[in-house]
Amino acid sequence: MNLHQVLTGAANEGEKCFSVGSIDGNHFTAYAAGCNIVILDSDINRVQILSGTELGYQSEVTCIACCHELGKIAASYENKVYIFEPAPVVRSEGKHSLDYQWSQTGLLMLDGEVLAVAWSYFGQRQIDNLINQSPSTMGGSRRGEPRPSNDPNPHNSSSHNNNNSGQQQPINEWCCTWWTKLANPAMMVKFSTDRLLFATAGKNDRLVKVWYENFKDSSQRAQEFPDQLFPDSINNSGIPMTSFSFVYVAHPRAVTGFSWRRTSKYIHR
């Protein structure tokens, strides 16, 4: 092992502090080391370190999720989820084979500590599970239209990009499209590869919940309760609320982990 592969720092405790993603067919690994995010290529060569102190993060990263298609990274710091997106760069002199650099493009402010984060397979939807008080809350969000980073209203802007040139970049606004209360906090959240389903499970839970979207219920609720389901921020972005239901998959003992079978996105549904 090379020296630089050791000096990047040990990963934070927990299985949710590392994730594998890909972009343009190139796989990479991102893991949390303290308040930093370390990105490695498929050969475990260091590509980039997103320094938490330079970006203004003081707490440790609690969980990380990488997108399998677009290479996006979501990292949670207590009640905040930061979105990082890759951009191609001129091939550097380093030994790594991933010619991309990640920068912060979004921020989600939540009401409690985030316990799990998951991307849909194509990176257009995100599920966040947080705990504030019992019961816990789980919600989904998706990206709306980008807005300039010099927006005078701090409640409508997501974050500011950090780059070497110092120029302000447009910010991608993420809007909440669904939320629900859970009896127990979901410690595991994973999307199916076709984006149609996602599953959740709590600590020492024998029941895995498989969630599916209610397309008919979503349109009916939008007509009956426009004020409750369409806040001003969501109306302005033109993104409708969604509705999800679930079914149980029972197991004889506590579930310690699960995964979805990989299927092609071109399979007819």
pLDDT higher than 80, residue 50: yes
State percent of the chain over pLDDT 70.
63
Tokens 């806040």 — which residue? 231
Among the residue ranges 54-58, 211-215, 246-250, the one predicted with the least confidence is: 54-58
The predicted model gives 88-111 an average pLDDT of 80
| Residue 246: per-residue pLDDT | 92
**How far apart, in whole angstroms, are the C-alpha atoms of residue 129 and residue 98?**
31
The full DSSP string for 182-248 is ESS-EEEEEE-TTSSEEEEEETT-SEEEEEEE-HHHHHHHHHH-HHHH--HHHHHHTPPP--EEEEE
pLDDT digits (tens, 9 = 90+) for 163-194: 333 344 445 567 777 788 888 888 888 888 87
Residue 145: partners with Cβ closer than 8 Å, 6 or more residues away: 173, 237
**How far apart, in whole angstroms, are the C-alpha atoms of residue 233 and residue 235?**
6
pTM of the model: 0.73
Contact 207/201 with Cβ under 8 angstroms? Answer: yes
Q: What confidence tier does 269 reach under pLDDT thresholds 50, 70, 90?
A: low
Where along the chain do its domains lie? 4-182
Residue 120: partners with Cβ closer than 8 Å, 6 or more residues away: 126, 127, 191, 195, 198
Indicate the burial class of 254 (C-beta count within 10 angstroms; 0-12, 13-18, 19 or more): exposed
| Residue 126: per-residue pLDDT | 62
| Residue 159: per-residue pLDDT | 31
| Residue 182: per-residue pLDDT | 83
| Residue 235: per-residue pLDDT | 37
pLDDT higher than 80, residue 95: no
**How far apart, in whole angstroms, are the C-alpha atoms of residue 191 and residue 126?**
9
Average pLDDT, the chain: 74
Amino acid at site 207: L
pLDDT digits (tens, 9 = 90+) for 244-257: 889 999 999 999 99
The predicted model gives 224-251 an average pLDDT of 61
Among the residue ranges 35-49, 74-88, 148-162, 175-189, the one predicted with the least confidence is: 148-162
pLDDT higher than 90, residue 158: no
Quote the strand ranges of the chain, DSSP E: 18-23, 26-33, 36-41, 46-50, 63-66, 73-77, 80-88, 100-109, 113-119, 125-131, 136-147, 171-182, 186-191, 197-202, 207-213, 244-250
- The top-scoring range by mean pLDDT among 3-12, 24-33, 163-172, 176-185 is 24-33
Contact 218/243 with Cβ under 8 angstroms? Answer: yes
